[in-house]
Amino acid sequence: MSSATSTTDAPSVRFGRRERRGVLLGLGGVQFAVLGTAVCVAVMGVYSAGGVGLAASALLWLPLTVLALAGVGGRPLVEWVPLGGTWVLRRLTGGAREITRPVTRPGLSLPGVGEVPFDVTPTLGAALLVDRRGGSIVAVARVSGRGFVLDDPGTQAVKVDGWGRALAALGRRRAVRRVQLVLRTAQCSETSVHRWWRENAVAGGSPAGSVLADLMADASYATRRPEALLAIALRPPRGGLRRLGHSDVTTLEQELTAVADALRSADVDITAWTTPAQAPVLLRSAYDPATRPLPDTDVGSTAPPAMGIAESWNHVTTDGAVHAVYWIAEWPRSEVHPSFLQPLVLSPDSVRTITLIAEPLPIAASLREIRRAKAEHTADAAQRARIGQVEDESIRAELDDLLRREQELVAGHGDLRFTGLVTVSAPTLEELDAACSATEAAAAQALCEMRRLVGQQTTAHLAATVPLARGVL
């Protein structure tokens, strides 16, 4: 959750801390169960043979205690056991590798997704991708803004408020299941400005013009520019995902039109909906950035070639690239300018994809969750007072964020669960390591804390790179 404030100087945004609640004293349910088992084993050893029994049973209760209380890489050690177990199982059974074949009927097949049939809306011409495994119908649009960085503070504040209202409007539409904003760098040979300069100014033979043209050709922004995609996951009609009737397609098109109107009020324009002819190439380019067409280039309806994916512990390999997925574990903890992600989005030192997934939450469910969290905070405070443990500032900050979230819900605002993911892509592993270092440095400049996901790179790559609004499983 985040909130935006504006003053006469400049607008600012504030993010809440990531909640780390547990059953008792910050311990999760699994941790508490493992620690309880260790205590039971130690007590049984004492009652059975006294100190000797306690020492003998230490072979069991001591590893369980370490498993419950120790942490590695920002997560409890007990959570690494199922993650590592499923990873080893996938490696042994061949589930870490998958190759798909092009389908002959309308649709396509993707690694980790399976066959994706699609329909088309009659007026917008948008492709409705039927994600059966995800249980939703997805439409993808290219979006563009009307400028932000060079605007005056008042205009920036208006646009920030408009974007917040647009997200709130999307969250109130029951048909909208999830929204995914994808920002990715796209290769382009030269911009229209460079083309005009090459064809007109340099033609005169001016030495100064030739020098300036060389400087423009060497500029980093001449080879990369961000591309913005918006994937909207809609709930399936009552008939399910097997067959979409004409009335179902019309209803879904009305929902997409409402989404476009909400975005237009926030100065975000939908430049084009992805058509059935463009969908295969668009989804294919998520696995292989080298096949990504230019934003202003039309693509044909030829089915993409076969795609393969091979998962490793901390990266995933596709047909023509190697990818590493990061999770934004912590957003900035202090008030920042709304353009705080600029170092991560616009830096031209690597090819990366930044994904923001927003999932609307029912107000009643959010209020129940807040009440449960407040009860847990109260119980933890009483337990800390009983054992003499001092409450640190992070716990008080988390409680303040929780109370502010409750006030916003009571005031009538919507509730959205945000997840940020960053995918770094490179042709080889050596180049991927360099690109990951540059990305981590850019994230530090944006005041974001990122963690490289391990043991689940295939699922993370699907959620972070493929515009199907899959969400994080």
- The pLDDT, as a whole number, for residue 421 is 94
Residue 166 has pLDDT above 60, yes or no: yes
The answer on 250 and 183 residing in a single domain is: yes
Work out the pLDDT band at 195, boundaries 50, 70, 90: low
Q: How far apart are CA 125 and CA 127, in angstroms?
A: 7
Domain annotation covers residue 146: yes
Work out the pLDDT band at 207, boundaries 50, 70, 90: low
- The pLDDT, as a whole number, for residue 306 is 56
| Domain end among 222, 245, 265 | 222
Q: How far apart are CA 113 and CA 309, in angstroms?
A: 12
Whether the CB-CB separation of 255 and 173 falls below 8 Å is answered with: yes
Say what the alpha-carbon torsion angle 384, 389, 395, 399 is, to the nearest 10 degrees: 30
CA atoms within 13 A on the CB side of 9: 3
The answer on 233 and 125 residing in a single domain is: yes
The answer on 415 and 440 residing in a single domain is: yes
Domain annotation covers residue 320: yes
Residue 182 has pLDDT above 80, yes or no: yes
| Domain end among 207, 222, 237 | 222
| Domain end among 170, 197, 222 | 222
- The pLDDT, as a whole number, for residue 204 is 52
Whether the CB-CB separation of 241 and 119 falls below 8 Å is answered with: no
Residue 97 has pLDDT above 60, yes or no: yes
How does pLDDT run across 101-141, given as a tens digit for each residue?
665 555 677 877 777 888 888 888 888 888 888 888 899 99
19-23, 238-242, 439-443: segment of lowest average pLDDT: 19-23
The answer on 374 and 250 residing in a single domain is: yes
The answer on 432 and 302 residing in a single domain is: yes
Name residue 86's amino acid: T
Domain annotation covers residue 366: yes
93-107, 120-134, 226-240: segment of lowest average pLDDT: 93-107
Q: How far apart are CA 318 and CA 37, in angstroms?
A: 43
Domain annotation covers residue 57: no
Q: Report which of residues 460 and 21 the model is more confident about.
A: 460
For the chain, give me the number of helices (H) and strands (E)? 13, 19
Q: 165 is in which domain, residue-wise?
A: 97-188+227-465
User: What H or E segment, with its residue span, contains residue 270?
Assistant: strand 268-273
Beta-bridged to residue 311, according to DSSP, are 316
Work out the pLDDT band at 221, boundaries 50, 70, 90: very low
User: What H or E segment, with its residue span, contains residue 63?
Assistant: helix 58-69
The answer on 266 and 200 residing in a single domain is: no
The mean pLDDT value of the chain amounts to: 78
The answer on 235 and 210 residing in a single domain is: no
The answer on 208 and 252 residing in a single domain is: no
99-103, 191-195, 266-270, 419-423: segment of lowest average pLDDT: 191-195
The answer on 194 and 105 residing in a single domain is: no
The two tokens of residue 23 are 């059953």
* Number of domains forming the structure of the chain: 2
Domain annotation covers residue 471: no
Percent of the chain residues past pLDDT 70, beyond the cut: 79
The answer on 373 and 251 residing in a single domain is: yes
Domain annotation covers residue 55: no
- The pLDDT, as a whole number, for residue 220 is 44
What's this model's pTM, rounded to 2 decimal places?
Answer: 0.79
Would you tell me how many other CB atoms lie within 10 Å of the CB of residue 352?
27
Residue 254 has pLDDT above 90, yes or no: no
Q: Report which of residues 88 and 296 the model is more confident about.
A: 88
- The pLDDT, as a whole number, for residue 422 is 94
Task: Give φ, ψ of 12 to 5 degrees.
Answer: -145, 155
Q: Report which of residues 275 and 188 the model is more confident about.
A: 275
Domain annotation covers residue 335: yes
Domain annotation covers residue 155: yes
Query: What is the 3-class SS of 175-232, one letter each residue?
Result: CEEEEEEEEEEEECCCCHHHHHHHHHHHHHCCHHHHHHHHHHHHCHHHCEEEEEEEEE
- The pLDDT, as a whole number, for residue 6 is 46
Whether the CB-CB separation of 176 and 233 falls below 8 Å is answered with: yes
- The pLDDT, as a whole number, for residue 214 is 63
- The pLDDT, as a whole number, for residue 284 is 81
The two tokens of residue 280 are 């295969």
DSSP-derived 3-state class of residue 222: helix
- CA separation (Å) from 116 to 92, 102, 106, 132, 236? 28, 11, 9, 7, 14
The answer on 268 and 130 residing in a single domain is: yes
CA atoms within 13 A on the CB side of 19: 20
* 356 Cβ neighbours under 8 A, 6+ residues apart: 180, 181, 418, 419, 420
Residue 303 has pLDDT above 50, yes or no: no
- The pLDDT, as a whole number, for residue 348 is 67
The answer on 345 and 407 residing in a single domain is: yes
